Structure 1
Amino acid sequence: MAERSPLPSQLVVRATATTPVGAVRAAGRLRASHGLPASPLRVLDSYAAVYLLAGSGRYADANGTRTALAPGDLLLLFPGLGHTYGPQPGQTWSELYLLFDGPVFDLWRSTGLLDPARPARRLAPVDRWAAAFERVFVELQRTGTGAALSTVCALLTVLADAEPTAPPEDAQADHWWLSRASALLDADIRREQPLEAIAARLSMSYDGFRKRFRRLAGVAPARYRTQRSIDRACELLAEGELTGRQIAAALGFNDEFHFSRRFRQLTGSTPSQFRSALPSLPHRATVVSGRTDGPAVPDGRQPPHRR
């Protein structure tokens, strides 16, 4: 049986059904996440996949792997391997995540299809790949004979499609560029700089900047920047210290009405509806504010740190 949260924009699904080959244990969407602390390194007992929707940051693990992360990066986490990841200091990001385990995933690891030496993969455009992962979410909510196996097969299909095909040098250049562009947009959460000025900082025309960003991130830079403002608004609403009017002013909206209208367009609820729904959601910090040590284990608790 699967459990779904009451907030459509903050989806959490957990399942208890398993199969002889493995299982997808949980899936969720985190908005305005702060990621993990730099230390101690967290160790999971299962595999996890984290797909970055917005924001930029970094990943590091006990093997010495260090990599920058940008929207459209898929981060694979491995059981027994200490790791940390998260956005730039003082910022947040949005992500989809899945927790899974079982013999079929161990087999993929033993053959190198899942490789701790290359934990990050570039999957763009974001909207296409987000939809692919969300189809796994849909499978996870099914019940009945074969539902758990169908979910495993759906995830394996996405992971197989995620095998890199672009030349490494091209992918690396695109990754660096998108990480830089995302960081510039994230730093302007009040939307005070003209996008033409941000394009100029990347030595590009606005049209070239817009087209390249949309190709790599799956969304136009203007919408991306607005989405990051709304992500920050979700975080402030969850903290409960500011009124809607104060949040609107802090994030550079014309007024509270403008803020409420844009918030509803992007989340499906008004700020007041979003805030009033928070107390009804178990493990509020894990699901909404992103103040968490990462994806929750299936019963909602965080996995213990192992030394």
Structure 2
Amino acid sequence: MEMIDAVFVYQMHEKQELLWHQRIHSHEAGAFEIHYFVGGSGTFTNAKNSYTIYPGSLFVTSDEKEHSITSDEGANLTYYATLLHCPEEQELFKKLEGRNPLHIGTNLRFFFEEVRDKALSQKGELRLSACHQLLGFLYNLLAGSVTERTVGEHVRLEKAIRHMQRHVFDKLSLSQIASHVGLDPSYFVRLFRKRMNTTPMKYYTSLQLEAARALLTSSDLSVKEIAAKLQFCSEFHFSKQFKQSTGSSPSLYRKTHLQLLGI
């Protein structure tokens, strides 16, 4: 059992990005993919079946099944995708695939953020934890026990994450985010750090850098223009933060990934 990939796709709308996600593709035997849409609209095609995408919808794709995503014009699709190699759980994924789309609401961002964070960890134990956490969720989903949560601290964290994602091109402050979820800034930082293993502002910066990666590979904006669009104080500061996050300069990242995409 292995988590192959876990990504967050923020507001898919650039031409090259749309072409990449609209391509028809499949995954190797034993590999299953879960898409959880939290914003925008479009069409999810799985084999010969096409489904309308709504915020809060989840789709399961079994191994070797061709699928693609088409965004409605100007819809800015936003979603999480996790790719899991788990051939021993084929029956689970097949059953869930037969129920596409599963409507689970939009208040599960925190859960998928946590899975993604663990899946990208350097620690093998956390990556394995992400697999078991996702499988547990899917079994609960199959049993019909997953509902959209409406109370508790989890909801406030999900609301904070949603607010940061929506305003990734703005310049949010800690006090603005804390105020949005109705919490004292100091308490909000402690709560966020406990659940996400980072501070709210570091997480917000990581969202900005994730948006930057998308812009570098799916737009013609210069590095300077991307830095300005994401409200970084200077191109130098943006490039420094980007290299710390990815190990590559923005220009090299763009060149390398465009080559991988065949562009």
Residue aligning to 2:82: 97
* Mapped partners of 1:237, 1:32: distance in 2: 14
Match of 1:222 among 187, 191, 201: 201
Identity of aligned residues (%): 19
Residue aligning to 1:194: 173
Matched, 1:129 2:115: yes
The number of residue pairs the alignment matches comes to 231
TM-score (norm 2): 0.59
Asked whether the equivalents of residues 28 and 97 of structure 1 are also in contact (C-alpha less than 8 Å), the reply is yes
Residue aligning to 1:3: none
Q: CA deviation at 1:58?
A: 6.9
- C-alpha change, 1:238 and 1:218, in structure 2 (3 Å) is same
Residue deviations 1:154-198, cap 9 Å, x none?
99745444456xx97895435543332123222432553321122
Read off the aligned partner of 1:173 and give its amino acid letter. Answer: V
- C-alpha change, 1:187 and 1:31, in structure 2 (3 Å) is closer
Alignment of 1:54-73 (within 5 A): 56-57=38-39, 68=56
Match of 1:211 among 186, 190, 195: 190
Q: CA deviation at 1:214?
A: 3.4
TM-score (norm 1): 0.52
Structure richer in helix, relative to its length: 2
Asked whether the equivalents of residues 239 and 250 of structure 2 are also in contact (C-alpha less than 8 Å), the reply is yes
Read off the aligned partner of 2:91 and give its amino acid letter. Answer: D
* Mapped partners of 1:228, 1:265: distance in 2: 14
Asked whether the equivalents of residues 5 and 119 of structure 2 are also in contact (C-alpha less than 8 Å), the reply is no
Alignment of 1:27-106 (within 5 A): 27-30=4-7, 32-34=9-11, 47-50=32-35, 56-57=38-39, 68=56, 75=58, 77-78=60-61, 95-98=80-83, 104-106=89-91
* Mapped partners of 1:43, 1:279: distance in 2: 18
Residue aligning to 1:298: none
Residue aligning to 1:276: 255
Asked whether the equivalents of residues 9 and 79 of structure 2 are also in contact (C-alpha less than 8 Å), the reply is yes
Read off the aligned partner of 1:277 and give its amino acid letter. Answer: T
Alignment gaps of 5+ in structure 2: 45-49
* Mapped partners of 1:107, 1:244: distance in 2: 44
Residue aligning to 2:47: none
Q: CA deviation at 1:124?
A: 6.2
SS in 1 for 2:151: helix
Matched, 1:173 2:158: no
Q: CA deviation at 1:263?
A: 0.5
Matched, 1:239 2:218: yes
Q: CA deviation at 1:273?
A: 1.4
Q: CA deviation at 1:264?
A: 0.8
* Mapped partners of 1:134, 1:44: distance in 2: 22
Asked whether the equivalents of residues 199 and 209 of structure 1 are also in contact (C-alpha less than 8 Å), the reply is yes
- C-alpha change, 1:122 and 1:184, in structure 2 (3 Å) is closer
Q: Which moved more, 1:272-281 or 1:240-249?
A: 240-249
* Mapped partners of 1:235, 1:160: distance in 2: 28
Alignment gaps of 5+ in structure 1: 1-22, 70-74, 139-152, 285-307
Asked whether the equivalents of residues 195 and 222 of structure 1 are also in contact (C-alpha less than 8 Å), the reply is yes
Structure number with the bigger relative contact order (C-alpha 8 A, sep ≥ 6) is: 1
* Mapped partners of 1:218, 1:154: distance in 2: 15
